Amino acid sequence: MSLASQLIQPPEVSAPRLLGTVLVSELGSSPVTVKISEVEAYRGEDDPASHAFRGRTGRNGSMFEVPGTLYVYRSYGVHWCANVAVGPKGTGWAILFRGGDVIDGMATARSRRGRDDHLANGPGKLCQALGIDGSHDGINLLEAGSPLRLEPGTPPQMVMATPRVGITKAQDLPWRFVAATSSANRS
């Protein structure tokens, strides 16, 4: 099954299937690759915790684009967070990349992070390691020539589903998915 076909699904179906895929960044002079180990599903206008809950606005337009579109927003005034739009165009469904492991371009990732560990075990850190910022909002992660791409990988052996992190609404939904073998596991 192709990656594109996985991204057509509803977010709570698509999200766990993105575990084990890889984000390849050629945004800087040398590439960095992160294997995704933690994601969260956001179900557009049906989901009070989603940025898309109140419909399309200036900030969240990319969430309503074709599946594979990158949605980047600033968090707490300082960090960047990256999502990929999923489902049919116009739904506002998206998956937040919450964490992963750097599997290539370690030196570059360490340089960007300014430290040797905890390179991508959080949404802001993941973006920093890959060099993602607001200027990349709206690019297509499925295009072969894109400087930032989502590519197939090895699915994890086991997936844990837990409530989402850092939200105040719809906290009961177990839409955070973590690869059980990941180093990015946090409580």
186 phi and psi angles, rounded to 5 deg = -130, 165
112 CB neighbour count, 10 Å cutoff: 19
Query: Which listed range, 2-10, 27-35, 77-85, 142-150, lies at the site for DNA (CB under 7 A)?
Result: 77-85
Q: How far apart are CA 41 and CA 5, in angstroms?
A: 17
What is the smallest separation between the CB atom of 182 and DNA, expressed in angstroms?
15
Residue 40 touches DNA, criterion: CB under 7 A: yes
Instruction: Give the distance between the most distant pair of CA atoms in the chain.
Output: 42
Contact between residue 41 and residue 177 where contact means Cβ atoms under 8 Å apart:
yes
Residue 142 touches DNA, criterion: CB under 7 A: no
What is the smallest separation between the CB atom of 56 and DNA, expressed in angstroms?
8
Residue 160 touches DNA, criterion: CB under 7 A: no
Residue 175 touches DNA, criterion: CB under 7 A: no
What is the smallest separation between the CB atom of 5 and DNA, expressed in angstroms?
22
Burial class (CB in 10 A: 0-12, 13-18, 19+), 8: middle
Residue 54 touches DNA, criterion: CB under 7 A: yes
Q: How far apart are CA 179 and CA 29, in angstroms?
A: 30
SS3 per residue for 34-93:
EEEEEEEEEEHHHCCCCCCCCCCCCCCHHHHCCCCEEEEEEECCCEEEEEEECCCCCCCE
What is the smallest separation between the CB atom of 19 and DNA, expressed in angstroms?
16
Residue 51 touches DNA, criterion: CB under 7 A: yes
What is the smallest separation between the CB atom of 46 and DNA, expressed in angstroms?
12
CA proximity to 17, closest of 152, 141, 127: 152
Residue 57 touches DNA, criterion: CB under 7 A: yes
The footprint of DNA on residues 86-125 (CB under 7 A) is 94, 96, 113, 115, 118, 122-125
Residues of this chain that interact with DNA (CB under 7 A) are 40, 42, 49-52, 54, 57-60, 63, 71, 73-79, 81, 83, 94, 96, 113, 115, 118, 122-126, 128, 164-168
